[in-house]
Amino acid sequence: MENKSKGREALEWIYCILIAIVIVILIKSFIGVPTVVKQSSMYPTLMQNERLWLSKWGTTFNKMPKRGDIITFEAPTQRYTDSNHIDYQNPVAEYNYNPTNIFTKFVYYTLEIGKTSYIKRVIGLPGEHVQIKDGSVYINDQKLEENYLQDYVVTSDLDGLYIDIVVPENTVYVLGDNRGESTDSRRFGCIPVEKIESKAVFRFWPLNKLGGIYKDVK
């Protein structure tokens, strides 16, 4: 009887652990996750080692983000610098790794082992003509007023080739706020909506910056 009782107790613990794992996966996949800023491409809006809460609610259903939103997405495979390899009629970032079975998909997309993500700001939406010229961004020939940028910031091509394009359907054009130090759509093209992972909605560290993230854009 004692062995049966211990066996039943062990099974109960296993069930509890499995349920906890499932709950964590569901929260991570459909609600959101905390993250740490590791790069400087969004400086000074986001600083290295700041802690953010990323919402996955809208991105789970491939909802189109708004201009000015700060999003995370799976890093593209290619960063083109040779104009001979660019399709300007379809300037979409390439993703050459596509796991095919359930296990590899779970490891890559859910556990995110071996997966790299970027965090950038949404600038161009589907059907819009985006141009980088005269040190600024132009949307449909109108200069974009980016109030979140520092006054000294100049938006150059940064040796990228996607600087005069029409954003394809179901994609977005993204840039880092630190325009001189950001690998973004200027170099790899537009990001498919299905590759968007989350939206940065809240900063909880450091405490003196506790609150929402500035995204004013006209």
Judge whether 41 counts as a catalytic residue. yes
Judge whether 120 counts as a catalytic residue. yes
157 has a pLDDT exceeding 60:
yes
Under 8 Å CB-to-CB from 191, ≥6 apart: which residues? 73, 76, 93, 171, 172, 173, 174, 185
pLDDT at 81: 65
Q: What is the residue extent of each domain of the chain?
A: 2-209
**Lowest mean pLDDT across 35-39, 76-80, 147-151:** 76-80
Nearest 5°: phi and psi at 71? -125, 160
Mean pLDDT over 83-103 rounds to: 84
Mean pLDDT over 147-159 rounds to: 90
pLDDT at 217: 47
With b for 16 or more beta-carbon neighbours within 10 A and e for fewer, the 161-182 pattern comes to bbbebbbbeebbbbbbbbbeeb
Which is the catalytic residue, given 56, 120, 195, 199? Answer: 120
Q: Name the residue with higher pLDDT: 65 or 6.
A: 65
201 has a pLDDT exceeding 50:
yes
Read off the pTM.
Answer: 0.86
pLDDT at 18: 76
Mean pLDDT over 180-202 rounds to: 94
Mean pLDDT over 159-181 rounds to: 95
- CATH architecture group of domain 2-209: Ribbon (2.10)
Read off the tokens for 195.
């590759």
pLDDT at 6: 62
